[in-house]
Structures are given as structure tokens and as C-alpha cells.
């Protein structure tokens, strides 16, 4: 029999692109406030969107100020210099932001990253069960994502599903260890010296 667990409130980090601010504010945010165990909510977005995103318990942060040198333009310019698809700049930028926030004092020991266009329709009271983080699995397969994991960390896909999901609970100490490993690899120039996060 599963024991009733107390609700552990977590910091929620939500990167919000300019073109979905209205959707986020009018649809997603009310459901997040109603259905997720929020300690505080951090919105990462362009400064021009600040006046459109207001509310008690929200902290709106300039996405270009989370980590020195990490900007959407910087990611775009890097991809362009490599002949890569610049249309994915925003996606890659958001992935870096999700890790970079761990380098700040803005989040606690655990933080939940939530996609701005994903609406939690029912109450979610926990992301941890029996001391283990619950991770959603999906059938989504974006090959460049797996290529990047292989290049950065030498991790290869080993199952017929993925963990690409609309939300993920990060443990700050593990993110910082992962980044430390990445910075050491950068020093050895294993992947061309590019990294937008501060060491």
C-alpha cells in the first residue's frame, strides 16, 4: 500500500518565448498556479515581455542575463557560424537556460522546469515517490538532441523511448556536477570550445 506523502513545493522555472506570452499568461499560468506545488515561479523571457507577465509569486528574469555570455543572439550566431539550422536557436537557447539557472541563487535544491505551452489540467502533488524522482517517458525522437548528448557527454540512447517531456524535475547539485564535467571537457576542447555557460 502506498503511503500518502506530503506535498513538497518546488521552484518552477518556465522559459517563455515572445510569441507565446499571451497563451502562457491567459491559459497556462492560471492552471500552473492552481495545479502545481509551487514554492515560487521564475519566468525566463525577453525584457520586452516583463510588463505582460505580472502576478503575485512570479519572478520575471531577463533570459539574456541568467548566465554571462548566454544570449539568444549568441546561440543563433554560433549555429550560423557552423552552418547549422538557426531556426532551432531558440530551442537550444532554452535548453541552456534550464541548466544555467542552477548556477544562480534563484532556485533551491530542486527545481521543476515546465514548458510554457503545456497546461497541467489536473492537480499534480508530487514529482518524487519513495525517494525517487518521477520522470515521464515519451516516444518523441529528435535526432539532433541525441547527437548533442553524445557529443557533450558521451551518452547514447539505450532504450526505445525518450525522456523528452514537457516538464522535468532537476536536482541542482547534479546539474552543477554535470556542468562542471562539461566545463572540464571544454578545457580539453573536446567539442570545439563552444559553451555559452559561465565556468
For 109-121, write each residue's pLDDT tens digit: 999 999 989 898 8
- Report the distance separating Cα 160 and Cα 135, nearest Å: 15
CA distances from 40 to 87, 152, 180 (A): 31, 31, 26
- Report the distance separating Cα 127 and Cα 104, nearest Å: 22
Per-residue pLDDT tens digits for 18-63? 998 999 999 999 999 999 888 999 999 999 999 999 877 799 999 9
Residue 89 counted as domain residue: yes
CB atoms within 10 A of CB 182: 18
Reported pTM:
0.81
pLDDT higher at 42 or 68: 42
What are the start-end ranges of the H helices in the chain?
A: 21-23, 29-35, 72-81, 89-100, 143-153, 172-187
- Report the distance separating Cα 149 and Cα 161, nearest Å: 15
- Specify the CATH number for the domain of residue 15: 3.90.550
Contact 126, 7 (CB under 8 A): yes
Residue 141 counted as domain residue: yes
Q: Which of 115, 114, 97 is nearest to 106 (CA)?
A: 97
Q: In terms of residue numbers, what domain contains 146?
A: 10-187
Pick from 49-53, 138-142, 145-149, 164-168 the range whose average pLDDT is largest: 49-53
Residue 3 counted as domain residue: no
Domains contained in the chain, number: 1
Residue 74 counted as domain residue: yes
Residue 196 counted as domain residue: no
Residue 198 counted as domain residue: no
Residue appearing with cell numbers 515521464 = 136
Residue 193 counted as domain residue: no
Contact 102, 170 (CB under 8 A): yes
Residue 5 counted as domain residue: no
Amino acid at each position: 500500500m502506498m503511503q500518502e506523502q506530503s506535498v513538497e513545493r518546488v521552484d518552477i522555472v518556465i522559459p517563455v518565448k515572445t510569441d507565446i506570452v499571451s497563451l502562457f499568461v491567459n491559459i497556462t499560468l492560471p492552471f500552473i498556479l492552481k495545479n502545481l506545488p509551487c514554492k515560487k515561479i521564475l519566468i525566463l523571457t525577453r525584457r520586452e515581455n516583463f510588463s505582460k507577465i505580472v502576478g503575485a509569486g512570479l519572478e520575471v528574469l531577463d533570459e539574456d542575463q541568467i548566465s554571462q555570455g548566454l544570449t539568444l543572439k549568441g546561440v543563433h550566431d554560433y549555429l550560423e557560424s557552423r552552418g547549422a539550422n538557426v531556426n532551432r536557436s531558440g530551442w537550444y537557447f532554452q535548453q541552456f537556460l534550464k541548466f544555467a539557472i542552477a548556477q544562480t541563487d534563484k532556485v533551491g535544491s530542486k527545481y521543476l522546469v515546465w514548458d510554457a505551452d503545456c497546461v497541467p489540467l489536473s492537480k499534480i502533488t508530487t514529482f518524487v515517490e519513495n525517494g525517487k524522482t518521477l520522470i515521464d517517458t515519451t516516444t518523441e525522437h529528435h535526432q539532433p538532441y541525441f547527437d548533442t548528448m553524445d557529443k557533450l557527454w558521451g551518452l547514447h540512447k539505450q532504450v526505445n523511448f525518450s525522456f523528452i517531456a514537457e516538464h522535468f524535475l532537476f536536482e541542482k547539485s547534479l546539474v552543477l556536477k554535470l556542468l562542471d564535467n562539461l566545463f572540464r571537457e571544454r578545457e580539453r576542447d573536446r567539442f570545439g570550445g563552444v559553451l555559452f555557460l559561465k565556468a
